[in-house]
Amino acid sequence: MRTQSSVEIGTEWGIVSARQVGRELSKEIGFNNVDQARIATAISELARNIYLYTENGLIGLEVVEQGHSKGIKIVARDEGPGIENLREAMTDGHSSSNGLGAGLPGVKRLMNEFDIESELGKGTVITATKWLR
């Protein structure tokens, strides 16, 4: 089993390929159908943010273990403009593009752990983990 993958998000096709890789990996680890959909959706949202707001970036996918539990960690990394107001970006209904504003808060709800670090002019790193129940 691959335990690590990385997909470049330079084009719209990167979004599709990142979520396909994520779904495959989460299936291999043993996530059920619903969790596979949650993980694929979270990856899609994060990859789309990279595609919309930055020149390019990466979605990293990693199998992680903690004690007896296994999980999948998504790392979305870009060198874009950074997020000016993190609190606002994490509010439901807020959107700086033409979307529904469900993006980041939605991802947080779909996953078990969520962390965001952003520096203006430097970029953003979002880490989200889902554990097998």
Partner 1 sequence: MRIPILKLGKYLLISVQVELDDQTALQFQEDLLNRIHEEGSEGIVVDLTSVEMIDSYIAKVIGDVVEMSNLMGAKVVLTGIQPSVAITLVEMGITLSEVPTALNLEQGLEKLQQELEG
| Residues near partner 1 (CB under 8 A) | 12-13, 15-16, 19-20, 23, 33-34, 36-38, 40-41, 44-45, 48, 92, 98-103, 105-106, 109-110
Amino acid at 86: L
Report the nearest approach of partner 1 to the CB of residue 40 (Å). Answer: 5
Report the nearest approach of partner 1 to the CB of residue 4 (Å). Answer: 22
Alpha helices in the chain (DSSP H): 12-29, 33-53, 86-89, 103-110
What backbone phi and psi angles, to 5 degrees, belong to 5? -145, 160
Report the nearest approach of partner 1 to the CB of residue 104 (Å). Answer: 10
Report the nearest approach of partner 1 to the CB of residue 18 (Å). Answer: 11
12 versus 115: smaller Cβ distance to partner 1: 12
104 contacts 116 by C-beta, under 8 angstroms: yes
60 versus 105: smaller Cβ distance to partner 1: 105
On the 0-12 / 13-18 / 19+ scale of CB atoms within 10 A, 130 is buried
